[in-house]
Amino acid sequence: MRNARIEVVKILCNLELIYPPPFFDIMIHLILHLPDETVLGGPVHMRWMYPFERYMKKLKNYVRNKAKPKGLIVEGYVADEALTFCSMYLEGMQTKFNRADRNDDPGLPKRQFFVFSSQCRTMSAKKIVELCNEAKKPLHWYVVNNCDEDEIRSYKSELKLELPESDFKKEFPSWFKEKGLVYGSLRAYSYTACIVNGVRFVMNSRDL
């Protein structure tokens, strides 16, 4: 950590050659104290104040009359504790103890093929996209390559009998189409946000 403090000083000196003086406010200056703070205080998670600061914001939201903030905070805290205690014994209604997780993704009904039974919960409006023929080819290959072996064994066996020397990845889309198993336009649904396996994914364009 002592070496880190020396390196931090050197880095800030190099930054002073690039950025103007207004860039170096109090937050940039605090970087100098981080190595010493780590040595004296230990790991950050042992003295992390963020949960308490976040809870203080919740308490301050109870204030409706700024003339008596402390009394309103106490009143709101007591009411919240009482409602939380009572909700432990309520049945047949949603409470903070039985509600689904914020990023919960309920399973979709099983489809015929395993590859279409993904666990996903969409969080935006649906946009329909028409796929061209070139976009269909890798899509067909993805479906075939990720399906369970028992589900497409008959198709693979038939293709190997008709085209034994062919490249399966290259020839399968066109062969599949000639068999009449793929026809008409193919549409895809596009979303800007979704939840998969408890993780929320958001496109950069929506996050900006």
Same domain (yes/no): 205, 119: yes
Helix (H/G/I), strand (E/B), else coil: 188: strand
Same domain (yes/no): 195, 119: yes
Same domain (yes/no): 147, 177: yes
Rounded to whole angstroms, the Cα distance separating 89 from 25 reads: 52
Residue 196 falls within a domain, yes or no? yes
State yes or no: pLDDT of 73 exceeds 90: yes
Rounded to whole angstroms, the Cα distance separating 66 from 85 reads: 28
Rounded to whole angstroms, the Cα distance separating 50 from 31 reads: 18
List CB contacts of 89: < 8 A, sequence separation 6 or more: none
Cross-strand partners of 131:
186
Same domain (yes/no): 17, 42: yes
Same domain (yes/no): 42, 54: no
Q: Is the pTM of this model over 0.85?
A: no
User: Domain residues for 108?
Assistant: 101-126+191-208
Amino acid at position 78, single letter? V
Could you say which of 62, 87, 112 is where a domain stops?
Answer: 87
Cross-strand partners of 122:
194
The residue with tokens 């930054």 is 15
Q: Residue 185 — very low, low, confident or very high, per pLDDT cuts 50/70/90?
A: low
**How confident is the model over 115-141, as a mean pLDDT?**
75
Domain count, the chain: 4
Same domain (yes/no): 73, 148: no
The pLDDT score that the predictor gives to residue 207 is 60
Same domain (yes/no): 118, 198: yes
Same domain (yes/no): 168, 201: no
List CB contacts of 72: < 8 A, sequence separation 6 or more: 62, 63, 64, 65
Residue 27 falls within a domain, yes or no? yes
Residue 67 falls within a domain, yes or no? yes
State yes or no: pLDDT of 88 exceeds 80: yes
Same domain (yes/no): 118, 154: no
Q: How do residues 33-48 score in pLDDT, each as one tens digit? A: 888 888 888 777 777 8
Same domain (yes/no): 106, 207: yes
Residue 95 falls within a domain, yes or no? no
Task: Rank 29-38, 41-50, 62-71, 171-180 by mean pLDDT and report only the highest.
Answer: 62-71
As a whole number, the mean pLDDT across the chain is: 78
* Structure token digits, residue 196: 């998969």
Torsion of CA 148, 149, 152, 155, to 10 degrees: 160
